[in-house]
Every structure is written in C-alpha cells, then in structure tokens.
Amino acid sequence: MNKTDELASTHLGKKSEGSDNYNPSLLVAIPRCENRKQYNIDENCLPFEGFDVWHAYEFSALTQNGIPVTRLLKLKYSCSSKFLVESKSLKLYLNSFNMTRFGSSVKECLEKCKEIIEKDLSEKLQTKVTANFIENNAERVEIFKNFNNIMNYVDETNLKVEKFKEAPEILKTEDTHNIQSCYLMFDSLRSNCRVTHQPDFGDLYLYYKSKKHISEDSLVKYLSSFRSEFHFHEECCEMIYKRLYDLLVAGDELFVCALYTRRGGIDICPARWSKNCVVEDVFNLADISKFARGSLKQ
C-alpha cells in the first residue's frame, strides 16, 4: 500500500464512530503529488488553474440553547494546494458539529461554524479554504446551458466501447485549419473510490478552443474507459485534463469540470482550466464563484 492509500484508509473501509463533539483531529489530508507524477504533471508548474468545490448537504449544529441549525455547506479551495481532503474524514469532521453548541442565535451559530471550518481546513490543507452556507431558497443560475450532450454528435448504433481502464490512445484529433469552440457534456462518467472501490457517478463538462478537433466518438470511448479506474474525483478530472492538454497545441483554451453526484451527503466538483482560458467568458458569468453543483449561486 502506497502512502496515499495508507492515508486514505484512515477512515475509509472501516467502522468509524466519529464524534458527538467538535473534533478537528478527524480530518485527513491527502497529497496530490503522487497521482500527478503518473501523468507528468509538474507540481511546481501546473498546466492548469482551477479549484475543488465540495457541497455538504447535511451540515448541522446547535445554538447554545440547543436549537438545531441545518444548512447546505459549500467549500472551495485551489487546485494548487499540495493536499486535498479525504472525503470520509471530512464527513466525520462535519458530523462532529452535529451535537456541538455554537452561538446564541442561528446567525451567530453559522458565523462561528464558518470561522472554525475555514480555519481548520486551511490549516490542514495548507491553503486558503472558503466556506459558505447556502439558504434553501438560493437563486439558481444555469451556467452550463451552452454545453451540449456529446451523444448528440455520435452514431451510437455504430459506436463500440471496449476498454474500461483509462486508455488515452483512444483519443483522436484532426486539423480543421479554423479555430473552433466546442462545448460538450458527458452525463455517464463513472469512476471508483481508490480505497473502498465504491462507484462514483457524475457529469463531465468540456470546453476547448482550437484548430484541432477532438473526435466525439473517441471522447465517448475515452471517458467511458474510466468505469474501472480507481481514483479520487480530483485525480480523474486532472487526468482527463492532462490527456486532452497533451493533444492540443500551445495557446489553445481548455476547461474540464467533473460534477460528481453526492455520496454520503457530500459531492465533489473539481474544475481545471488552461491559464489563458477566461472562465467567466466560457460561462458568460460576471463571477466564477457562482459555479456550483446544480448551479447553486453562492
């Protein structure tokens, strides 16, 4: 077992009682470097920018008077951080707030929890982590409306998928001589937890601007090849980005985002983009902070 899997196994695959009282020691940080090395991603010169967004749908705490406070919690931190947080450890950590009392009012309770969570995660991951609570009546923003289902561009009756371990050799490109912008969505992404081997499902959003055209048939085959891969969500997003980045040429724009469905009350939404890619323009947004699973405005 390598160091990453050893750290990830702290809670995963084991019966964990957690804690009825606030307990930051439950958090586990996983180094990103090991998986990046496999795909020639230089930690000191990342070929992308981006962030990881987490949504905890079941965060709850108590006021000093014992009044329950429950909210959707949104966490965000940069992909340039040397660590990511292991998901089960985050769940156990957040659950430790459930029976802990903070503040004399609902507002004060949320303010104190936000302050504590940002401090604990920022220290653990050695990067700035922002936390925000989203009200149930949050405005919805359709930021992915420009993306088209990739299956609309293929002949599924003649498309044969045979490889289910990551197979970059499947990807094919052709020169078009004209710069084109492509907005594609694949709604059948599946990978597996590297420790428990439980399946993770999600939607993959891809934008690129290039004279090269990536064959949609080959993209479907390639993205389908993750079905038997065992990686963290963030790793899969970076693997896909790097394979496509290597196909394109310098100066091309590239954006890859994986919106995984929630498991255990938490979803993970990594996004990576080329440094010359203005993400606000891709989504026609004034503020990229609006990005979220289900297009929930921050």
The residues, any chain, with a CB within 8 Å of residue 63's CB and separated by 6 or more, are: 69, 101, 102, 103, 104, 105, 106, 108, 109
What gap in Å lies between CA 31 and CA 202, rounded to an integer?
Answer: 23
Cβ(186)–Cβ(228) below 8 Å: no
Active site residue 203: no
Residue 87's Cβ-side half-sphere holds a number of Cα atoms within 13 Å equal to: 26
User: How far are the Cα atoms of 22, 121, 158, 250 from residue 59, in angstroms, in the given order?
Assistant: 13, 15, 46, 43
**7: DSSP letter:** H
Other Cβ atoms within 10 Å of 239 Cβ, number: 22
As to burial, measured by CB atoms within 10 angstroms (0-12 exposed, 13-18 middle, 19+ buried), residue 288 is middle
Backbone torsion region of residue 158, taken as left when φ is above 0, otherwise alpha when ψ lies between -120 and 50, otherwise beta: alpha
Beta-bridged to residue 133, according to DSSP, are 73
Cβ(245)–Cβ(261) below 8 Å: no
Active site residue 193: yes
Q: Which residue of the set 79, 113, 120, 200 is catalytic? A: 200
DSSP for 267-293 reads EEEEEEE-TT--HHHHHT-S-GGG--G
Q: Which residue of the set 79, 113, 193, 269 is catalytic? A: 193
Distance separating the N- and C-terminal Cα atoms of the chain: 39
Looking at the annotation, which residues are catalytic?
193, 200
